[in-house]
Amino acid sequence: METSEYSSIILDEVIPLGRNGKDYLHMFNLFGLDDKVSYIDCASGPSSFNAYMSSKDIQVVSIDPIYEKQREEIQRNIKISFDSLIDQIKQKQHLFKWDIYRSVEHLSEIRRKAMDDFLSDYENGKDEGRYVAGSLPHLNFANHSFDIALCSHFLFLYSDYYSLDFHIKSIMEMMRVAKECRIFPLYGLSGKESPYLRDVVKILRKEKYQTHICNVPYEFQKGANQCLIIRKKVKSI
Ligand SMILES: C[S@@+](CC[C@H](N)C(=O)[O-])C[C@H]1O[C@@H](n2cnc3c(N)ncnc32)[C@H](O)[C@@H]1O
């Protein structure tokens, strides 16, 4: 993957960096949902969402290409990406809102803990089929296997790397395996709304989907506090 210049954060590739279970509850506004709701978390990387939800007996299957690797290799890759990203955030603190995380040090501590929790859960979770190697836009699951498909910090965020067609195919695939799909954030790395968002909404609405852009109680990248929710249209009788 080529290096791209962004006005905000510069990344050579999609990096494996993980948020925690509580971040996910806020990013996707999952509060108040039934404990029986099942999730597929796409592009889940080293997030501790799966570990957090599994500890509460809530069903989550996480999908990411990095799950082909052994724990030690993932750990090494996380360290390289993490240190370089934290360095950039330090230089560009004005692009972020410092309330959920009070400082770069606080952010660093919380992210590190999330990734440690993921690493501790990884081998067990893999044996239990909770971490499955796979890549969008293909999901190796039967139709309607889950209630909700989540995608955090991959679609829209990496708009410079993936085409509109990739976004549509990925969302359709998530909607094939789940009844509903939620994506966060809707901004790219440039710190602006993804150039694909409006077209994605238009195309999905023309198909058989309802789309809702909802405000959520999570904002770290300034302005990125909305989640896209996609559901199948209810047939009128
Ligand atoms: C920034 S991380 C996000 C991790 C997690 N969702 C979170 O928010 O904490 C992006 C992840 O996308 C994964 N990824 C890259 N290409 C992918 C693809 N085609 N399908 C699914 N995941 C992919 C990377 O391996 C990486 O772990």
CATH classification of 21-232, choosing from 1.10.10.10, 3.30.559.10, 3.40.50.150, 3.40.50.300? 3.40.50.150
Return the beta strands (E) in the chain as ranges. 39-42, 60-64, 131-133, 146-152, 178-184, 209-215, 226-232
pTM for the predicted model, two decimal places: 0.94
Tokens of 3: 């290096």
pLDDT digits (tens, 9 = 90+) for 100-112: 999 999 999 999 9
| CA distance linking residue 64 with residue 211, whole number of Å | 25
- Report the chain's C-alpha Rg in angstroms: 17
- Which among 23, 64, 218 is the best mutation to test ligand 1's pocket, defined by most ligand atoms within 8 Å of the CB? 64
Atom of ligand 1 minimally distant from the CA of 19: 9
Atom of ligand 1 minimally distant from the CA of 136: 20
C-alpha of residue 16 to centroid of ligand 1, in Å: 6
The per-type count for the chain, helices as H runs and strands as E runs, is 6, 7
pLDDT digits (tens, 9 = 90+) for 18-49: 999 999 999 999 999 999 999 999 999 999 99
C-alpha of residue 237 to centroid of ligand 1, in Å: 40
Residue ranges per structural domain of the chain: 21-232
Atom of ligand 1 minimally distant from the CA of 157: 1
User: What are residue 226's phi and psi, to 5 degrees?
Assistant: -130, 150
pLDDT digits (tens, 9 = 90+) for 156-194: 999 999 999 999 999 999 999 999 999 999 999 889 999
